Structure 1
Amino acid sequence: MERREEYQGYVPEIIKEIVINDKNELLVKLIGDANPMYQYLYREAAGVYWDEDLKAFKSTPLKEWTASKWFFHIKDLVSSVLKVELLVDEKIEWVNVAEDEVNKIKKAMKGYSNQIE
């Protein structure tokens, strides 16, 4: 596994795809190999898990929360617990995510100063 350079004190991971799967779970898929230690995120009992096969963080099934609320929950939890900064760029793929939820995430991400230009 290649060594990632820290980004403002956090390990950067670039999101390649955001998906709502057939189980109605939100998946935040990463580019490249990810750290196997991400699997321990479940210990926080916050409804977010690491799927090693998919190289993705995933939510429990979407019920009361929207896709955008789950996305920011995942992003904040990964940042605070794993010290990993999830970054997005213009090439991100959206699969089965409602357009209004995509727009909410994109609009809010503009407020994050650490995003790839």
Structure 2
Amino acid sequence: MDRDEILVIKVDDKGKLNIKPYSTTYPMIYRSATEVHWDNDKKTLYSPKPKDWSYLEWYLHIVGVVKAECSVILELTNKTEWINIPDELKAEITKAQQNL
């Protein structure tokens, strides 16, 4: 299984969670029918604005879909940039990533 670093995790101005990988792209991820999408301009994976799921659940879903559908493990690094992510959510994501 391949690995790729997560450059940026961001909640955009529309409330969508965006994950920007370092080197891989996922223009066909929508075919998985999992509500995970690819923004070709921003080069990010993104989710819908959370309604029933939390941002943590969407994060876990996105990295899980990429792993299952694309055989790539997305990994946080000490260089990952966090934009519009509250400290509590950052801590939850970091802790959850360690258990993947």
Give the superposition deviation at 1:28. Answer: 0.3
Give the superposition deviation at 1:11. Answer: 2.1
Q: For residue 26 of structure 1, what is the aligned residue in structure 2?
A: 17
Q: Does 1:98 align with 2:86?
A: yes
- Contact 2:75–2:97 (CA under 8 A) maintained in structure 1: no
Higher relative contact order (CA 8 A, sep 6+): 2
Q: Does 1:15 align with 2:3?
A: no
Consecutive aligned runs of 4 or more in structure 1 exceeding 2 Å deviation: none
- Cα distance per residue 1:30-75 (max 9 Å; x no partner): 224x34xx21110121110011221111001122211111000000
TM-score by length of 1: 0.79
Larger radius of gyration: 1
Match of 2:58 among 55, 67, 70: 70
Match of 1:60 among 25, 48, 53: 48
C-alpha distance in 2 between matches for 1:94 and 1:103: 11
Counterpart AA for 1:17 = V
TM-score by length of 2: 0.91
Give the superposition deviation at 1:110. Answer: 1.9
Equivalent residue of 1:79, what SS?
helix
Structure 2, unpaired ranges of 5+: none
Match of 1:88 among 72, 76, 83: 76
